[in-house]
């Protein structure tokens, strides 16, 4: 017996919902002094990087993990900060006391958003 078409549609729909659910909402700020870093000491890791807030740091277990970060909207009166681009970043540092979720390099932040905004809403997913 053939599988009814609407069952396949439901499976595709649920799979899509699941992949959306894997992205976690948060907020992002940016920083500019990349070396030394909490994960790699004085060894530079380039500029497509981010620092984890206390919430994500987990004793450094997050070091080296790769996240896809997407700007989703403003947190302040700067309208439409998002450029529509996403960036894939490596976690190289810890940002103790950071209010947000991820502290992005200025290069990453200004690729996905207007740096004038300072703080943005993001979705992030480990890849």
Ligand X SMILES: *[C@@H]1O[C@H](CO)[C@@H](O)[C@H](O)[C@H]1NC(C)=O
Report, in Å, the least distance between residue 23 CB and ligand X.
Answer: 7
Q: Residues 29, 37, 70, 101: which binds ligand X (CB under 6 A)?
A: 70
- Asked if 127 touches ligand X (CB under 6 A), the answer is yes
Nearer to ligand X, 47 or 126 (CB): 126
Report, in Å, the least distance between residue 91 CB and ligand X.
Answer: 16
Sign of CA dihedral 98, 91, 38, 115: negative
Report, in Å, the least distance between residue 29 CB and ligand X.
Answer: 20
- Asked if 17 touches ligand X (CB under 6 A), the answer is no
Give long-range contacts, CB 8 A cutoff, 24+ apart: 60-64.
60/94, 62/91, 63/38, 63/39, 63/91, 63/92, 64/39, 64/90, 64/91, 64/92
- Asked if 111 touches ligand X (CB under 6 A), the answer is no
Report how far residue 99's alpha carbon sits from residue 3's, in angstroms, rounded to the nearest whole number: 50
Q: For binding to ligand X (CB under 6 A), which residues are involved?
A: 68, 70, 86, 88, 127
């Amino acid at each position: 017996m053939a599988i009814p078409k609407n069952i396949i549609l439901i499976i595709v729909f649920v799979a899509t919902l699941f992949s959306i659910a894997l992205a976690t909402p948060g907020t992002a700020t940016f920083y500019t002094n990349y070396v030394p870093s909490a994960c790699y000491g004085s060894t530079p890791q380039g500029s497509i990087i981010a620092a984890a807030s206390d919430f994500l740091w987990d004793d450094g277990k997050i070091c080296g993990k790769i996240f896809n970060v997407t700007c989703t909207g403003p947190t302040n009166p700067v309208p439409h900060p998002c450029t529509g681009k996403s960036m894939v970043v490596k976690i190289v540092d810890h940002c103790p006391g950071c209010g947000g979720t991820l502290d992005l390099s200025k290069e990453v932040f200004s690729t996905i958003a207007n740096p004038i905004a300072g703080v943005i809403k993001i979705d992030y997913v480990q890849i």
